[in-house]
Amino acid sequence: MPRPGRNTYSDQKPPYSYISLTAMAIQGCPEKMLPLSEIYKFIMDRFPYYRENTQRWQNSLRHNLSFNDCFIKIPRRPDQPGKGSFWALHPSCGDMFENGSFLRRRKRFKVLGASDHLVQSMGKQQSEAAHYLQQQAKLRLSALQAATGTHLPQMSTAYNLGVGVTPSSTFKHPFAIENIIAREYKVPGSLAFSTMQSMSAGYPLHNQLTTAWPHMYNTTSMIDTAAPISDYSAYGVPIKSLCHGGPALPAIPVPIKPTPTSMAGFSALPHHHHPHHHIPAFLSNSPQSLSPTSPQTATSQSSPATPSETLTTSPSTTLQSVAVH
């Protein structure tokens, strides 16, 4: 049994499916959408295991993006040069890993009508969602630029925007990295807790993170790869921002298959724990101490329109989807 903190451990395959890794990456950025290359980067930056055999796993990842309805493609606007589209989570995919296992979902998320006459309405709904995301991204960017007086390249700043968002909102998308990390592993409670504390401070301590999430970094990478990682605030984990209202869609959690306990609040982590994944319940209401240091925080947060107001109809209510298999 490899022990936390050991180099050997960090090279192991992380206990996440491509779907969960991708969802993690998408949820980890304020815009809640990323181009393929950024998803790759997110994963490679954090999991040494994926720095090898890139052809193989990246092909698998692309397969997943196309194959799974929980991922939607969002076209680039003319002012967003680059190859490929942005990828986002389907507004209704909810907590696909409510069972606590990030390896396998209980049910695959499928959009209704994938093979029947409902398809046409789907197109419309998706485009609405896409438009919404684009608008949000645009708003955020201009807000940031206004606040900082600088013009920053979009994607490279994406992760920075995240830190220090006001703790006004409580909901956190299931895929928010903080949630994922917290649920992760059956680490001794105390350990996970200390990790979260450092996380909420906006600057997780390396050794703590490494201990709690060993496969995320190898002991030397932090220093050696400081450059790439420094692009992201605090290891690329926009701790506070994730989901909050701000960014993305009205992230209304929709359990794939409603269960008595799953709606106990998001906050609420699954009650029946998977035998192999004990989920620290404290996580849900982890203290939202925040770094009041980011200017864009106030700006973006004070944005008048709430997501649901922006759309005439909330995507989460108009989009029809269901877990199917």
- The nearer residue to DNA, 92 or 200, going by C-beta atoms, is 92
Q: How many residues interact with DNA (rule CB under 7 A)?
A: 38
Q: Please answer whether residues 323 and 108 qualify as being in contact, where contact means their C-beta atoms are separated by less than 8 angstroms.
A: yes
According to DSSP, the residues that pair with 277 across neighbouring strands are 274
CB count within 10 Å of CB 29 equals 28
Among 73, 186, 206, 273, binds DNA (CB under 7 A): 73
Which residue blocks in the chain are alpha helix, DSSP H? 7-10, 18-27, 36-46, 54-67, 119-148, 154-161, 177-183, 189-200, 206-212, 221-224, 226-230, 295-301, 307-310, 315-318
- The nearer residue to DNA, 93 or 290, going by C-beta atoms, is 93
- The nearer residue to DNA, 22 or 294, going by C-beta atoms, is 22
Among 276, 287, 289, 292, binds DNA (CB under 7 A): 276
Q: How far is the CB of 160 from DNA (least distance, A)?
A: 21
Classify residue 130 by its DSSP letter.
H
Contact positions with DNA (CB under 7 A) in 96-125: 96, 99, 101, 103-105, 107-108
Among 35, 94, 202, 250, binds DNA (CB under 7 A): 35
Q: How far is the CB of 255 from DNA (least distance, A)?
A: 15
The CA distance from 232 to 84, in Å, is: 22
**Interacting residues of 194 by C-beta distance below 8 A, sequence separation 6+:** 208, 212
| Gyration radius of the chain's alpha carbons | 19
274 touches DNA (CB under 7 A): yes
- The nearer residue to DNA, 149 or 275, going by C-beta atoms, is 275
77 touches DNA (CB under 7 A): no
Report the interface residues with DNA, using CB under 7 A: 16-19, 35-37, 40, 56-57, 59-60, 62-68, 73, 81-85, 87, 96, 99, 101, 103-105, 107-108, 274, 276, 324-325
